[in-house]
Structure 1
Amino acid sequence: MTSILWLKAFHVIFMVAWFAGIFYLPRIFVNHAESSEPLVHQQLNGMERRLLYFITPFAVFTVLLGIAIIYQYGYAWFANAKWLHIKIALVLLLVIYHGYCFKLVRVFAADNNRRSGKFYRIFNEIPVIILFIVVILAYLKPF
């Protein structure tokens, strides 16, 4: 039982680090979309790229540790944990979101952004909503 607690602890640690970055990156996109200064664009391009590459290992470790936790609990637990199936679907959505951020970083680097700051403000809310639902599912296990 102690080993699963360590897995859970590190799963949460990496998840918090991942979310810190995935919350901040779209805020940089907002600033980038709303700026018309080439020097600001150049600086934001570097910030976006470095942040995304910095948080990607946190995403990978979050997912791998989640898989390890499921493995430790076993198939019977997994099959009966309906809340977990929803959580996994939301995590997959977040992984897709994270992957889409790579595309957005390339779009900004190529100076091809056509979206407004408002779009990126709304885009920034997606991981917030996912986090709320995932935490509720993980702690309350409503199903």
Structure 2
Amino acid sequence: MTYLILKSFHIIAVIAWFAGLFYLPRLFVYHAQSSDQISHERFVTMERKLYRGIMTPSMLITLALGIWMLFEMPFWLSQGWMHAKLALVAILVIYHHACLYHLKRFARGENTRGHVYFRWFNEVPLLPLIGIVLLVVIKPF
């Protein structure tokens, strides 16, 4: 029963984290297109609150519950699909921090990237998501 509760809250945290991973770069798209100070300040506030209030806590809860589940089911660490999943999670953590890099550059008024870059940047977490879901459901190796 403990494992199922952990798994349920892990999935909820993953959903919240991904909501932020998809929405923050979309805010970057709109922020890169804005030209007035009021819009800039509004986007900086929205981006900061999303990153600090939703994304980072969700990521930390996701990781903590994932580690806890590994303590409950340590045999998973001997399975190849779990190694692949953890590699994809590491990529998502790096992406999460890349979002922070862009957030800080926008906040300082130092962004040099255009909206097209951020449209592509916005698609990056989809690939690890697809891989993680397939690995967890199919457990291919």
Q: What are the superposed Cα offsets for residues 3-25 of structure 1, whole Å, 9 maximum, x if unpaired?
A: 11111111000000110111100
In the other structure, the counterpart of 1:94 is 92
Q: Give the alignment of 1:1-143 within 5 angstroms.
A: 2-54=1-53, 55-74=55-74, 76-79=75-78, 81-143=79-141
Aligned length: 140
Q: Which amino acid aligns with 2:4?
A: L
User: Pairwise CA RMSD of aligned residues?
Assistant: 0.9
**Structure 1 residue runs of 4+, over 4 Å off?**
none
TM-score normalised per structure 1: 0.95
Gaps of 5+ in 2: none
Shift of 1:77: 3.3
Shift of 1:102: 1.2
> What TM-score do the two structures reach when normalised by structure 2?
0.96
Tell me if the contact between 2:76 and 2:82 (Cα under 8 Å) persists in the aligned partners.
Answer: no
Q: Give distance in 2, aligned partners of 1:18 and 1:125.
A: 15
CA distance in 2, matches of 1:91, 1:137: 12
Instruction: Supply the AA of the counterpart residue of 1:56.
Output: T
What secondary structure is seen at the aligned counterpart in 2 of 1:13?
A: helix
> Matched residue of 1:126: which SS?
coil
